[in-house]
């Protein structure tokens, strides 16, 4: 019987996404690293919390991170 080939994990996706207990994909918002003085307070506050990947994009991301 032939062995199944392992699927490679996408290096960029594994750094950016984590799986929640319910199987959703969590990520951190962008634009919180530098040049924060000129950004609006509301924009920084929204970027503080984690985001959840949209249901239309989730299947593609889950294929990129098969062993998560």
CA distance 65 to 67: 6
Q: How many CA atoms lie within 13 A of 53 on its CB side?
A: 20
What are the sequence ranges of the domains in the chain?
21-31+38-68
pLDDT in tens, 3-20: 889 999 999 999 999 999
Q: The whole model's pTM is what? A: 0.82
CA 2 to chain centre: 34
* Average pLDDT score, the chain: 95
Q: pLDDT tens for residues 48-58? A: 999 999 999 99
Average pLDDT over residues 32-59: 96
Q: pLDDT tier at 68 (50, 70, 90 boundaries)?
A: confident
Contact 8, 63 (CB under 8 A): no
Mean pLDDT along residues 22-50: 96
């Amino acid at each position: 019987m032939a062995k199944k080939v392992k699927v490679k994990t996408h290096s960029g996706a594994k750094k950016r996404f984590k799986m929640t207990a319910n199987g959703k994909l969590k990520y951190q918002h962008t634009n919180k690293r530098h040049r924060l003085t000129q950004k609006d307070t509301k924009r920084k506050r929204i970027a503080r919390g984690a985001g959840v990947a949209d249901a239309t994009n989730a299947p593609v991301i889950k294929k990129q991170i098969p062993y998560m």
